[in-house]
Chains A and B, each alone.
Chain A
Amino acid sequence: MVRLEHVHKYFNRDTQREVHALDDISLVIEDGEFTVITGTSGCGKTTLLNAIGALDSVDSGRITIGETEITQLDERERAALRLQDIGFVFQAYNLIPVLNVAENIGFIMRLQGYHHEAIEKRIREVAAILEIDHRLSAMPNELSGGQQQRVAVARAVAAKPGLVLADEPTANLDSKNSQRLMQMMKNLNEIEKTTILFASHDDYVVEMSRRQIILSDGHVEKM
């Protein structure tokens, strides 16, 4: 479970360019949810996702993932939390260019110290679900945008994190690939019970998700 209590985040604080990016956000995301944070551009979706993912710090308030209050963690502990408990899917695919598909998918598990055979088995498993099992030895630059994003999703879920955060995962995809990706992610959510939290203003993502959190100017407009 993810819990946010009175979270505030400012950019350029105490300057003329101050932006109150997150304004007293309080919400709860239960385990197994398939939820989207939506809103207009600049409303704070990505900032909120980065705060939940321990990528950015907040100025005040508490964010708790499971039993861990991440707002109290130092940089080393936040890195460890991201590695162990959170999967990330970014808008721009962000695969590691020097690793092939299989190595990208197994990257997190390798860092976590899984045994080689367990990694190989899991790579085949998620690659099959995401229909990229025929491209395991390809390099990222040999893949289409849709395939790259599916590899990114596979990497995010391979180590079975408690929470997957996907920031505008369909932004660079055409509608056909967007629908395909969302369907696959929904399948993963159902099969593996992974909590998936999107930040997106893509109508199809909003439509597919089971819960929508609408942000407006940094505060929750509707949950």
Chain B
Amino acid sequence: MFSLALKNLLFYKGRTLTTFLLSLCSTVLFVVYVAFMDGSHESMLKNSLSIYTGAIQVMQEGHHENPSYDTLLEDLPSVMQTLKNIEGIRAYTPRLESFALLSSEEDSVGAMVTGIVPESEALVSRLKEALVKGRYLDSEDSNGLYMGEELAKRLGVDLGDEIALVGSATDYSFAAERFQIIGLFRTGLFEFDASSAFVNKAYFDALMLSETMASSIVVTVDDLEKAETVAGEIAGQMPSRVEVLTWKKLMASMVQAMEVDSLFGYISMGLFFIVVFFVIMIFGFINISGRIRELGLLRALGVHSYEILKLLLLESAILAFASVLAGTLIGAYLAYFYEVNPIIIKGMAETYKAYGIISDEVPTRFDLFTIAWNAMVVLLLNFLAILYPVYYIRQFTPTEAMRHV
């Protein structure tokens, strides 16, 4: 039967080649499309996490839902000491966030002013790399302010200008200070750049009375896929009222947006596959319709209809496996090639900066598991597409089939 199936495929070259190419192109397209989609999601995620959020944040229970001075981490040295001994952590840094009014000679704007440890912050976020003018903070800075470029525009200030900060300290007493702008940054996230300013935490702590406090400790991990495991490990060693959140919770809206985007991506591909399915089915139908006499002859000679079914499914399987295998190899190669050598579209980062795109490269994700899964989908489609034509042929008796024109 296998030999006969193979001969049938080779004999009806035109039909075989058309079906083969159709299935092959669908597979390539699917594998590459999903690689681009996953790549862009992964890139958005990594960029967003690396700009500011980090993979894990350690904070006092309730602070994430309701950030206030009442929910600050209070025994910061002890928590930092605990993190030092946990495997899988690449770096970590404390932050003290405070909402304050910043005033220039021209204007006043409410902004998030955050005290950071400049050296360790540089290991967990892109704040340092986002510098566009002046310099980044260092541990010796006192009243130096590192400010978002868009925030500076809103205040009408530039490098070297002075800013007045008015806010409340952690004990809710009045806190005010003059700061000098030492650097401007641009992360590409417009909202962030328009509302964020950073100061040296050591100096900020003195002003805000928060020497051993932090809003959160931001943690980066060696492997993002293992963030949940590391978070579990951290949580196990923390006091009871400290909670450990991973990026999935911290960036819930982004995760949701990506899931929606994936859903729409799969719906688009689903529509494409419906078309492919019907084209393969129609080709299968034409192919089998053209062979009704021949299949009737086989039945007349004593080949049972079950064997005919096996023959047709075998032909379909050979074609499907060959085309999906070839398509998967080509698709996988393209996905790998574009992961290593990304396509560059000039101006893309500028256009999509609100989505966390900080590069003109179109990211691609080469993942063997996803590729194998994609291949299985196309393979299944091929099998499903042949079922109706096979059912159709079974309606004929041998003599009806042999008389068929």
Interface residues of A (CB under 8 A from B): 50, 53, 55-56, 75-76, 79-84, 86, 88, 90, 94, 96-99, 107-108, 111, 155
Chain A residues with CB under 8 Å of B297's CB are: 90, 94, 96
Given A55-B399, A96-B294, do A82 and B305 touch, yes or no (CB 8 Å)? no
In the complex, the answer to whether A56 meets B399 with C-beta atoms within 8 Å is yes
B301 touching A108 by the CB < 8 A rule?
Answer: yes
Q: Which residues of A contact B8 (CB under 8 A)?
A: 98
Chain A residues closer than 8 Å to B300, beta-carbon distance: 53, 55, 82, 88, 90, 94
Q: Is the CB of A79 within 8 A of B303?
A: yes
B224 at the interface (CB under 8 A from A): no
Q: Is the CB of B305 within 8 A of A75?
A: yes
Closest residue of chain B to A88, judged by CB?
A: B300
Q: A55-B398, A94-B402, A96-B298 are in contact. Are A79 and B304 (CB under 8 A)?
A: yes
Most chain B CB atoms below 10 A, which of A76, A83, A98: A98
Interface residues on B, range: 20 to 34
A108 to B300, CA, bound (A): 11
Contact check, B399 vs A82: say whether CB atoms are below 8 A apart. no
Instruction: Determine whether the beta carbon of B301 is less than 8 Å from that of A107.
Output: yes
Main secondary structure of the interface of A (DSSP, over half): helix
* Residues 370-405 (chain B) with a chain A CB within 8 angstroms: 397-399, 402
State whether A56 and B397 are in contact (beta carbons under 8 Å apart), knowing that A94-B402, A98-B8 are contacts in the complex.
yes
Contact with A80, one of B7, B304, B399 (Cβ below 8 angstroms): B304
Identify 29 residue pairs between A and B in the complex whose beta-carbon atoms are under 8 Å apart, listed by A's number: A53-B300, A55-B397, A55-B398, A56-B397, A56-B399, A76-B304, A76-B306, A79-B299, A79-B303, A80-B302, A83-B301, A83-B302, A83-B303, A88-B300, A88-B301, A90-B300, A90-B402, A94-B297, A94-B300, A96-B4, A96-B294, A96-B298, A97-B11, A98-B7, A98-B10, A108-B302, A111-B302, A111-B303, A155-B301
Q: Are A50 and B399 in contact (CB under 8 A)?
A: yes
B303 CB contacts on chain A under 8 angstroms: 79, 83, 111
CA distance A202 to B293 in the complex (A): 25
Nearest-CB residue, chain A, relative to B291: A97
A193 to chain B, nearest CB (A): 21
Contacts of A79 in B (CB 8 A): 299, 302-305
Q: Bound complex: CA of A111 vs CA of B303, how far in Å?
A: 8
Inter-chain contacts of A90 with B (CB < 8 A): 297, 300, 402
- Look across to chain B and name the residue whose beta carbon is closest to the beta carbon of A87: B301
Q: Please give, as numbers and ranges, the residues of chain B lying within 8 Å of A53 by CB-CB distance.
A: 300
Query: What 3 pairs across the A-B complex have the smallest Cβ distances?
Result: A83-B302, A82-B302, A98-B11
0/1 interface trace, chain B 78-116, chain A, CB 8 Å (1 if under): 000000000000000000000000000000000000000
CA distance A83 to B304 in the complex (A): 9
